[in-house]
Amino acid sequence: MSRRTLAVGDEIGEVVVEITRDDLRAYAALSGDHNPIHQDDAAALAVELPGVVAHGMFTMGAVSRVLVDYIGDAGAVMSYGTRFTRPVVVPPMDAQPNTAQVHVSGKVTAVDDELGTATITMSAVFNGQTVLGRTVATIRQP
């Protein structure tokens, strides 16, 4: 697959990632993270969360998927890191709406022609608040 070279200022247009409780159950099964705050409202409320919350690593992975879809090559990602700033509260399946919607976007913030890399800063917003901070990836240019 052919990829174009990125330039400072290139943007990843907003992508809405919808998260359901079924997604959390599937992620728990795959990751082995069965912490009840990701499945049970009572458990989440008991630790002063507003309800069931998405796994931080699930949210991080969803944002990285948007990045990889944009650059077109998962193997081009050299590094990727973030800070978890707020939880993503996922409503029950019988609620309306029954998905948590995370708005993901990104921007190329640096290019190093000598190293053949680009830096992309990602944004993840849920209910108007940033849920991942300092989300930065370094990618290998084509």
**pLDDT at position 2:** 63
**pLDDT at position 79:** 98
5 within a domain of the structure (yes/no): no
Nearest in space to 139 (alpha carbons), one of 82, 65, 74, 83: 74
**pLDDT at position 3:** 84
Residue with structure tokens 């008991």?
Answer: 46
72 within a domain of the structure (yes/no): yes
Total residues found in the chain within this entry: 142
6 within a domain of the structure (yes/no): no
Nearest in space to 29 (alpha carbons), one of 58, 65, 52, 64: 58
d(CA 14, CA 124): 10
Below-70 pLDDT ranges, the chain: 1-2
**pLDDT at position 4:** 85
Whole-angstrom CA distances from 64 to 43, 90, 135 are 28, 19, 9
Percent of the chain residues topping a pLDDT of 70: 99
CB 52 within 8 A of CB 24: yes
d(CA 10, CA 70): 11
33 within a domain of the structure (yes/no): yes
CATH of the domain at 128: 3.10.129.10
Name the domain count of the chain.
Answer: 1
3 within a domain of the structure (yes/no): no
Whole-angstrom CA distances from 135 to 42, 109, 138 are 31, 12, 10
